[in-house]
Each structure stands twice: as C-alpha cells, then as structure tokens.
Amino acid sequence: MRWVFLDRIVELSPGEKARGFKGVAASEDYFADHFPGFPVLPGVLQIEALAQLSGKLIEVTVFGRERRWVWPIISIVKKAKFRRFVTPGVALELETTLLELRDESAICKAAARLDGKISTEAELVFVFNPGDLDTPEAQARLELLERENLKQLWPGYKAWAAGTREPA
C-alpha cells in the first residue's frame, strides 16, 4: 500500500497557505474493505492527505524563516467534519492555511473539496522533530529527503529553491 496521500501541490505560499490534489484511484487496497459494494475513502486518510499538504507548508515556511528543516508530525485533530462521501475516480482538492507557528509546533486549518464543495474540514495541530533532528547530519538527511519530495510534488519548487539560496 502506498502511504503518500498527496499527489500534487499547485500552490504554496510560505507562511500563508497551500493547495494540492489527491487522486482517488479505485485500485487502492482499502476500498476492498471500506466498504464492500460501496467504496469510500476512509476519513482518517482524508485527514492524512490534508496533514501531508499542511506539513509541506510548515516545512517550507520554517526553512524560509529560520534556515532549518523540521519534520511536522500531526498530534491533534480538532473540529473534524466529514460532509460528503469520497468515492473512487475523483480528484480531492486540498487546501490548508497556516494559523499559528511556534518554535516547536504549528496549527493549520485545512479543508478538502469535491466539485468545489467542502467534503472534509479540520484544524490540525503539529509538533516538530520526534527525535534529535538538530544535528548537522540529521538536518542534511532531512533536507535531502524533503527537497526530493518537494521536487516531485510541486512545480513551483525550482523557483522557491532558487530564492532560498540553497542547493536546488
């Protein structure tokens, strides 16, 4: 099973918001059991897609401000609402807004839409770095991983990376 629930980032404004997409393919393993004869994308995976987009927004924002990489881990899901069934064959539109950023945590308000109508919404709280990621070696590993991931997801990565004065 694939654990990446973010297919593309179409907009990322550091410190503000990000937009992206998750294609919901009928071939995903979870549809066999959730639910037989009525396949629905599990709500927890909808939240995960929103969390992955939010995490990229947080990473880029922190790097731009502090020149350090963080690894945002979702710790609290508040005010989650699931308003529509998400079925195979749709493109789930994802959007997140950064509400608050601290040294060790962040809060985002996120929503998913189907045909322009909200299907899922939540307030997501993240904590950073569930281990020692402040050493130069750990930062280098995390930077390599995240830059490669951003290159694959975000067409605007190259322009952003050029502005960071770091290796693209």
Report which DSSP code applies to 102: -
Q: What is the per-residue pLDDT for 121?
A: 98
pLDDT beyond 70 at 1 = no
Q: Lowest-confidence range among 8-12, 30-34, 93-97, 144-148?
A: 30-34
User: Where residue 90 falls among pLDDT bands split at 50, 70, 90?
Assistant: very high
Residue 143 in tokens? 């930077």
What is the reported pLDDT for 130? 72
Kindly indicate the confidence band of residue 132, based on its pLDDT and cuts at 50, 70 and 90: confident
3-state DSSP assignment of residue 19:
strand
User: If DSSP codes are grouped into helix, strand and coil, which group holds residue 10?
Assistant: strand
Per 3-state DSSP, the chain is made up of helix, strand and coil in percentages (nearest 5) of 30, 35, 35
Cite the active site residues.
34
Domains of the chain (ranges; CATH) run 8-153 (3.10.129.10)
Of the candidates 28, 71, 29, the residue with the CA atom closest to the CA atom of residue 51: 71
Contacts of 168 (CB under 8 A, 6+ apart): 147, 157, 158, 161, 162
Q: pTM of the predicted model, to two decimals?
A: 0.94
Q: Tell me the C-alpha distance between 148 and 168, whole Å.
A: 9
Banded pLDDT at 160 (limits 50, 70, 90): very high
Structure tokens given for 43: 């709500």
- The Cα–Cα gap between 168 and 157 comes to 9
